[in-house]
Amino acid sequence: GAVLDWNEHIAHEFTRVSLWGHDFSVSQQQLLDKEA
């Protein structure tokens, strides 16, 4: 069903995001520094 597919999609996204999560965190910090 759609829900199962969505949950699987979330799982894949979470795994992929975790690989570059550190870089994302650094980018977010840089954005915060720019706004400061």
Kindly give the confidence (pLDDT) of every residue in the chain, 36 residues in length, as a single tens digit, with 9 standing for 90 and above: 788 899 999 988 888 877 777 777 888 888 889 887
**Residue spans per domain, the chain:** 1-36
Listed in sequence order, the residues at least 6 apart from 24 whose beta carbon sits closer than 8 Å to its beta carbon are 17
Rg (CA), the chain: 14
> What is the pTM assigned to this prediction?
0.36
